[in-house]
Amino acid sequence: MTRLTATLQGKLIEMAILKPQSFQVCFLVVALCAIVSLPASAKERHSGYYYPEPKQIEIYKTRALILPGSNKVRRIGFVTALTQVELGRPYPPITAIFAKGAESQKLIIVANQPGRLDTIFRIRAYLATLTATARTTPIFRQTGVETILTFFDLVRMLGFEQVTISDGDTFTHQVRFE
């Protein structure tokens, strides 16, 4: 918060105490000042904490519908299963995979090692690998369209709204679904 914003908020609070009838107006102005003083990255609350702010956001038009019963529990179960696969390998996990948001609707994948997922090309290659893996899952095989759907379609079927992939240092790519 800037010194000017803090001073303005202090004056407004003082005014609200002296003139209680104007409390609602003052509260609204204080709230607006607080919102305006937030850095741009605070709008996407996980940006700057789990990954650097994405320079570009891709919009992906999924070819799959959200499955009935796709909820927070199912999304967390999916992330837990992916994590178990990573942990079951004979080497340290190359990524950390987790779901965030009030309904766990944001899938986040962050590289655990330098030099991984640090370009859009490495991210696309990684996503192609995840697509190949996803096509072997029962959920894809049951739909009968496993050869045309992608990893993005699978996670959309589970109700995820976006996927953010980062090297955990300087590069982040975010995909939002329509």
pLDDT at 88 over 80: yes
- Regarding whether 66 and 23 lie in a shared domain, the answer is no
Give the residue, 143 or 41, on which the prediction is more confident.
143
Q: Exposure string (b/e) for 30-64, b if CB count within 10 Å is 16 or more? A: beebeeeeeeeeeebeebeebbeebeeeeeeebeb
- Regarding whether 33 and 12 lie in a shared domain, the answer is yes
Q: What integer best gives the mean pLDDT of the chain? A: 77
- Regarding whether 63 and 48 lie in a shared domain, the answer is yes
- Regarding whether 167 and 119 lie in a shared domain, the answer is yes
- Regarding whether 127 and 47 lie in a shared domain, the answer is yes
Tens digit of pLDDT for each residue in 12-38? 344 444 454 544 443 333 333 333 333
- Regarding whether 68 and 7 lie in a shared domain, the answer is no
Mean pLDDT of 104-110: 96
- Regarding whether 111 and 152 lie in a shared domain, the answer is yes
- Regarding whether 163 and 93 lie in a shared domain, the answer is yes
pTM of the prediction?
A: 0.71
Enclosing domain of residue 142: 43-177
- Regarding whether 77 and 30 lie in a shared domain, the answer is no
pLDDT at 65 over 50: yes
User: Across 61-104, where does the E strand assignment appear?
Assistant: 95-100
% the chain with pLDDT above 90: 44
Closest CA to 117 of 147, 97, 137, 144: 97
Give the residue, 78 or 36, on which the prediction is more confident.
78
Where does the pLDDT of residue 176 fall: very low under 50, low under 70, confident under 90, or very high at 90 and above? very high
**What does the pLDDT read at residue 49?**
62
Which residue matches tokens 């994948």?
109
Out of 40-54, 79-93, 148-162, 163-177, the most confident range is 163-177
- Regarding whether 139 and 57 lie in a shared domain, the answer is yes
- Regarding whether 167 and 106 lie in a shared domain, the answer is yes
Domains contained in the chain, number: 2
pLDDT at 6 over 80: no
- Regarding whether 130 and 100 lie in a shared domain, the answer is yes
Mean pLDDT of 158-173: 96
**What does the pLDDT read at residue 26?**
38
Where does the pLDDT of residue 48 fall: very low under 50, low under 70, confident under 90, or very high at 90 and above? low
**What does the pLDDT read at residue 45?**
67
